[in-house]
C-alpha cells in the first residue's frame, strides 16, 4: 500500500533551521566567477576528477589520488573496471547537466537512465560494481555491505519507490525544500531500489535535486555535492544508520549532518571563484612546486608566473621581449615549445592568445598539492589502503 512520506518539522531555533536559512541565501546567488573561463573550467575538471574519484572510493575503489593524477598526466588512461566506474560517473554528471532544469520531472524513467549510465560496462555483483538489471528495480532481497540495515523486501519495493518518486516531485514549501533533499537521500538509500550502484545514484541525485530546486550549481558547473561524503565514509554510514529508525528526531539529525556538509561544499566553491585566491593560493604555489621539482625550467617558470599575474591570465608571444626573447622566430618557437609541453593552451582554437594549462598537464601535480594544502582534498583520498 502506498503512503505519503511526511517531512518532520525542525525546531525553529535549532541548528538545522539556521543551516537551512544560510543555504537559502545561496540558492539564487549566481555563482559568478571573475576568473577567465578557461581557468575556471580547468578547475571544474579537477574538481570533477576529485569528486568522481571520491565517490568511487566510497565503493572501495582503490585507485589512489596520486595514481589517478599520474594517469591523467600520462594518458592514455588504462581502461580497467575502475576507470570505467570513474568514467561512468563523469558521464552521469554530463547527463544530469544536459537533462535537468527546474521543470524536469525526476520520474522513474529519468532515474532508470541515470542508473544505466552509472553501471554501464561494469561487472554485475557479486564480482563487480555493475548491476544484473541496469535501470530496473531489484527483484530480490539485498543486504548492504558494512551496514546493519536490511532494505525492504523486494515485494514492497514498487510501492516504496513510488512513494519516493512522489516525495521528490511533490511541491514543497520553500523552507522544506532542502529538508526534502536531505530526507530523499536517506530514504532512497534506505529502500535501496537497485541491486547495486545505489550509493552512486543517490549522491548524483543530490545534484539533480539541487538543480531542480534552482540552486545555481549548474552555472557554477563545479559542484557535485557527492563530495560531501567522500571525506569520511564512516561518518556517512553512521549518520545514515541512525536515520534508519525513521523516527522524526533521527531523520532531522541526518538532515543536519547532510546540510552542514552541503554548506561546506558551497563555501569551497565560493572561494574557488575568487580570482586572487586562485592566483595566489593555487596557481603560483603550483608553479613554484613544478619548478622546484625541475619539471619546468627557470625560463618557463618566469613566463608562466608572469602569465598568471596578468589581469586576464593570458599571454601572447609578442610579449616575450621581457624574457630576453627578441626575434619573432624565437618567440614562436618558445610558444610552440610551451604548447607541446602542455604548459599553455590557446584560448581559442588556432588563436594567438594563450593561457596556462594545468589540468591535462605536468602542472597538475602542483595544483593538487596546493589544493590539498588549502583543505580541498579529503585526507583519505591520499591514503594507500
Judged by CB, which is closer to ligand ATP: 102, or 234? 234
Distance (Å, whole) CA 216 – CA 308: 28
140's grid cell: 530480490
Name, in order, each residue with C-beta under 8 angstroms of 19's C-beta and a sequence gap of 6 or more: 256, 259, 260, 263
d(CA 90, CA 226): 12
| Residue 147 interacts with, from Mg ion, ligand ATP, none (CB under 5-8 Å by kind) | ligand ATP
120 binds ligand ATP (CB under 6 A): no
Binding region for ligand ATP (CB under 6 A) out of 21-29, 62-70, 191-199, 295-303: 191-199
Q: Is 210 left (phi over 0), alpha (psi -120 to 50) or beta?
A: alpha
Binding segment (CB under 6 A) for ligand ATP, from list 109-117, 207-215, 238-246, 338-346: 238-246
Residue 234 Cβ, how far from Mg ion at the closest point, in Å? 17
Indicate which of Mg ion, ligand ATP, none lies near residue 305 (CB less than 5 to 8 Å, by partner kind).
none
Strand partners, 354: 315, 346
Q: Of the two residues 199 and 366, which places its CB atom closer to ligand ATP in the complex?
A: 199
Residues binding ligand ATP: number (CB under 6 A): 18
Q: Is 51 within 8 Å of 291 (Cβ atoms)?
A: no
Q: Which of residues 44, 200, 212, 279 is near ligand ATP by CB under 6 A?
A: 200
- Based on the shown chain and the rule CB under 6 A, indicate whether residue 244 belongs to the binding site for ligand ATP: yes
Q: Contacting ligand ATP (CB under 6 A), which of 40, 68, 207, 237? A: 237
Our measurement of the distance from residue 208's CA atom to the centroid of its chain's CA atoms, rounded to an integer in Å, reads 12
> Does the footprint of ligand ATP cover residue 149 (CB under 6 A)?
yes
**Binder to ligand ATP among 38, 129, 206, 256 (CB under 6 A)?**
129
Which of 53, 189, 259, 381 is in the footprint of ligand ATP by CB under 6 A? 189
The reply to whether 51 sits near ligand ATP by the rule CB under 6 A is no
Distances (CA, A) of 179 to 198, 223, 237, 382: 20, 19, 19, 32
254 neighbors 335 (Cβ within 8 angstroms): no
DSSP, res 76? S
Least Cβ distance, residue 59 to ligand ATP (angstroms): 3
Nearest to 224 by CA among 48, 22, 374, 41: 48
Q: CB of 137: closest distance to ligand ATP in angstroms?
A: 13
Site for Mg ion in 146-205 (CB under 5 A): 196
Distance CA 76, CA 330 (A): 32
Q: Is 88 in the site for Mg ion (CB under 5 A)?
A: no
Q: How many C-beta neighbours within 10 Å does residue 247 have?
A: 12
Listed ranges 1-9, 141-149, 164-172, 340-348: which one lies at the site for ligand ATP (CB under 6 A): 141-149
Instruction: State the residues that interact with Mg ion by CB under 5 A.
Output: 196
Amino acid at each position: 500500500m502506498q503512503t505519503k512520506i511526511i517531512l518532520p518539522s525542525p525546531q525553529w531555533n535549532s541548528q538545522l533551521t539556521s543551516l537551512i536559512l544560510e543555504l537559502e541565501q545561496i540558492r539564487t546567488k549566481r555563482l559568478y566567477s571573475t576568473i577567465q573561463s578557461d581557468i575556471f573550467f580547468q578547475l571544474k575538471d579537477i574538481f570533477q576528477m576529485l569528486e568522481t574519484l571520491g565517490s568511487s572510493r566510497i565503493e572501495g575503489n582503490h585507485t589512489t589520488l596520486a595514481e589517478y593524477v599520474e594517469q591523467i598526466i600520462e594518458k592514455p588512461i588504462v581502461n580497467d573496471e575502475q576507470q570505467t566506474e570513474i568514467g561512468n560517473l563523469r558521464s552521469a554528471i554530463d547527463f544530469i547537466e544536459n537533462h535537468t532544469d527546474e521543470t524536469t520531472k525526476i520520474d522513474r524513467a529519468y532515474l532508470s537512465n541515470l542508473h544505466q549510465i552509472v553501471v554501464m560496462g561494469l561487472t554485475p555483483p557479486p564480482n563487480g560494481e555493475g548491476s544484473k538489471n541496469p535501470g530496473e528495480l531489484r527483484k530480490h532481497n539485498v543486504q548492504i555491505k558494512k551496514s546493519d540495515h536490511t532494505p525492504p523486501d523486494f515485494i514492497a519495493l514498487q510501492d516504496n519507490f513510488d512513494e519516493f518518486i512522489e516525495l521528490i516531485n511533490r511541491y514543497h514549501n520553500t523552507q522544506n525544500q532542502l529538508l526534502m533533499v536531505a530526507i530523499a537521500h536517506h530514504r532512497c538509500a534506505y529502500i535501496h531500489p537497485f541491486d547495486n550502484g545505489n550509493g552512486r545514484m543517490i549522491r548524483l541525485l543530490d545534484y539533480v535535486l539541487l538543480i531542480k530546486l534552482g540552486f545555481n550549481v549548474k552555472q557554477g558547473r563545479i559542484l557535485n555535492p557527492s563530495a560531501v561524503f567522500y571525506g569520511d565514509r564512516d561518518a556517512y554510514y553512521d549518520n545514515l544508520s541512525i536515520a534508519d529508525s525513521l523516527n522524526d528526531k533521527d531523520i532531522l539529525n541526518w538532515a543536519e549532518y547532510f546540510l552542514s556538509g552541503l554548506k561546506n561544499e558551497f563555501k569551497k566553491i565560493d572561494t574557488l571563484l575568487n580570482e586572487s585566491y586562485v592566483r595566489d593560493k593555487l596557481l603560483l604555489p603550483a608553479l613554484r612546486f613544478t619548478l622546484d621539482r625541475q619539471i619546468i625550467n627557470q625560463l618557463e617558470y618566469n613566463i608562466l608566473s608572469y602569465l598568471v599575474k596578468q589581469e586576464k591570465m593570458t599571454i601572447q608571444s609578442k610579449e616575450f621581449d621581457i624574457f630576453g626573447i627578441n626575434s619573432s622566430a624565437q618567440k614562436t618557437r618558445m610558444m610552440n615549445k610551451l604548447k607541446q609541453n602542455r604548459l599553455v593552451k590557446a584560448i581559442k582554437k588556432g588563436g594567438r592568445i594563450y593561457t596556462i594549462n594545468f589540468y591535462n598537464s605536468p602542472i597538475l601535480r602542483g595544483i593538487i598539492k596546493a589544493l590539498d594544502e588549502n583543505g580541498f582534498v579529503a585526507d583519505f583520498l591520499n591514503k594507500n589502503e
